[in-house]
A and B are shown apart, each in its own frame.
Chain A
Amino acid sequence: AQKVTQAQTEISVVEKEDVTLDCVYETRDTTYYLFWYKQPPSGELVFLIRRNSFDEQNEISGRYSWNFQKSTSSFNFTITASQVVDSAVYFCALSEATSGGSYIPTFGRGTSLIVHP
């Protein structure tokens, strides 16, 4: 079973639409970290946000916002008024402690967002 599920393989929107990318995770740990990364067509991977399991406050950064809900094990990402430059593959990731105490990131399969002009 996947620890991080991004059920939406591809989303296509028209510029200025709002779009939400879903992320559901699975863990038995009480301490863990969640991340979102962006991979634009150029291929590099760019960090967007980190959340720890004790901080359920929603986060807003410009047109980006994140909704972390432990009750549903979800960490969803919303882009408001999408732009063509938002076209990318977005990855959600979960970091849990290993038996040795290291936190190892596990990635979802990604959601490809296409924003049409």
Chain B
Amino acid sequence: NAGVTQTPKFRVLKTGQSMTLLCAQDMNHEYMYWYRQDPGMGLRLIHYSVGEGTTAKGEVPDGYNVSRLKKQNFLLGLESAAPSQTSVYFCASKRASTGELFFGEGSRLTVL
């Protein structure tokens, strides 16, 4: 029972580098989300997807891009990383019948 899997778990980047975070879910959920968690700020929504091939902006989308080419995968990209993007990133998928979110274990990203 994998649920929601995020890779990588940890990454250190230099300013200006690019990277992609991968989120995979095996529950056939339509809705998927990317949040970032910063101290004292709770979870803030970056982008979300309501189904394969669709994405939408959340509360803090600047500096990020996403893609949902396959239903089970939701990718979060940083084209030119900045120190302000140092954070813990959580992916989640939603069970439509209950609204419950299933979260990945988080990806800790440090941008130097």
Contact = CB atoms under 8 A, between A and B. Distances in A.
Interface of A: 6, 9, 33, 35, 37, 43-45, 47, 50, 91, 95, 98, 100, 102-110
Residues of B in contact with A, size category: 20 to 34
A105 B31 CA distance: 11
**Shortest 10 CB-CB distances between A and B: which pairs?**
A109-B42, A45-B103, A107-B43, A107-B42, A47-B100, A110-B42, A33-B99, A102-B50, A50-B99, A43-B106
Interface string B18-56: 000000000000010101000011111100101000001
Nearest to A106: B45
B99 A95 contact: yes
A95 B33 CA distance: 13
B40 A109 contact: yes
Q: Is the interface of B mostly helix, strand, loop or mixed?
A: strand
Contacts of A91: 42-43
A55 B50 CA distance: 26
B105 A44 contact: yes
A100 B50 CA distance: 10
Contacts of A95: 99
A106 B48 CA distance: 12
A47 B101 contact: yes
A44 B92 CA distance: 11
A103 B33 CA distance: 12
A44 B42 contact: no
A104 B47 CA distance: 11
B99 A109 contact: no
B58 interface: yes
B40 A9 contact: yes
Contacts of A109: 40-42
Contact of B58 (A6, A33, A100, A104): A104
